């Protein structure tokens, strides 16, 4: 299969179920290998990843739900509640972090680029997220990208005993594809591309 076909398979899937096309161990190994292969600035490998299956994933979404319940007006909570349940309905969730100690080390090592490293770290994290999302799609696993950080950061670190330097950047619920996804629309090429030769 060529790269474009694989890229086209990666879409935002909200209708998730618990069936996986392979064993959890294999999904876990796939995610780890993809993150290892993702590029990072100065090969700093600043991305940190927590992989939650089953009950552990459901625990994450109940943290999100209870955190939001405390701040969303009760009359608006029904849609939030349903959305969070749809993430919890998946087989698992991947938490993506960027290690701020790795960023600080780079800043000390290369003072000339100090200002750039926080941005490079975000970009490296985005690459890891995209690579994992695409690799999951390639084996038939649906996923989406969520951002309930920083609201849930403290509770997540406490629940899974994570280092204080790990900054939560994204949550990726994944699982079986339970519904087809609408076709994607694109802006005009003239707006986004300029080729000179």
Ligand X SMILES: Cc1cc2nc3c(=O)[nH]c(=O)nc-3n(C[C@H](O)[C@H](O)[C@H](O)COP(=O)(O)O)c2cc1C
Residues forming contacts to ligand X in the complex (CB under 6 A) are 11-12, 144-147, 184
Spell out the alpha helix ranges (H) of the chain.
Answer: 3-9, 24-37, 54-69, 77-88, 100-109, 117-138, 153-160, 189-192
Q: In the complex, what is the shortest distance from the CB of residue 71 to ligand X, in angstroms, rounded to a whole number? A: 17
Written as six digits, the tokens of 191 are 């707006």
Instruction: Please say which residue, 193 or 196, places its beta carbon nearer to ligand X.
Output: 193
Instruction: Please say which residue, 184 or 197, places its beta carbon nearer to ligand X.
Output: 184
Q: In the complex, what is the shortest distance from the CB of residue 170 to ligand X, in angstroms, rounded to a whole number? A: 7
Q: How many Cβ atoms are within 10 Å of 156's Cβ, its own excluded?
A: 25
Instruction: Please say which residue, 8 or 32, places its beta carbon nearer to ligand X.
Output: 8
Q: Is 108 helix (H, G, I), strand (E, B) or coil?
A: helix
Q: Compute the Cα dihedral for 11, 57, 97, 147 and give only its sign.
A: positive
Q: In the complex, what is the shortest distance from the CB of residue 144 to ligand X, in angstroms, rounded to a whole number? A: 5
Q: In the complex, what is the shortest distance from the CB of residue 88 to ligand X, in angstroms, rounded to a whole number? A: 15
Name all contacts of 186-195 with Cβ < 8 Å and 24+ positions apart: none
Instruction: Please say which residue, 186 or 193, places its beta carbon nearer to ligand X.
Output: 186
């Amino acid at each position: 299969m060529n790269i474009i076909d694989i890229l086209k398979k990666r879409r935002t899937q909200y209708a998730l179920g618990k069936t996986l096309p392979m064993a959890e161990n294999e999904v876990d190994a796939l995610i780890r290998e993809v993150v290892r292969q993702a590029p990072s600035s100065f090969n700093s490998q600043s991305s940190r990843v927590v992989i939650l299956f089953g009950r552990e994933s459901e625990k994450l979404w109940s943290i999100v739900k209870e955190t939001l319940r405390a701040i969303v007006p009760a009359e608006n909570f029904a849609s939030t509640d349903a959305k969070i349940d749809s993430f919890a309905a998946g087989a698992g969730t991947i938490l993506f972090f960027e290690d701020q100690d790795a960023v600080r080390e780079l800043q000390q090592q290369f003072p000339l680029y100090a200002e750039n490293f926080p941005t490079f770290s975000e970009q490296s994290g985005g690459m890891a997220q995209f690579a994992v999302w695409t690799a999951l799609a390639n084996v038939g696993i649906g996923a989406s990208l969520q951002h309930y950080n920083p609201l849930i950061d403290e509770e997540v670190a406490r629940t899974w005993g994570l280092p204080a330097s790990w900054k939560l950047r994204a949550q990726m619920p994944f699982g079986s594809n339970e519904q087809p996804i609408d076709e994607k629309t694109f802006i005009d090429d003239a707006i986004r591309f300029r080729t000179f030769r």
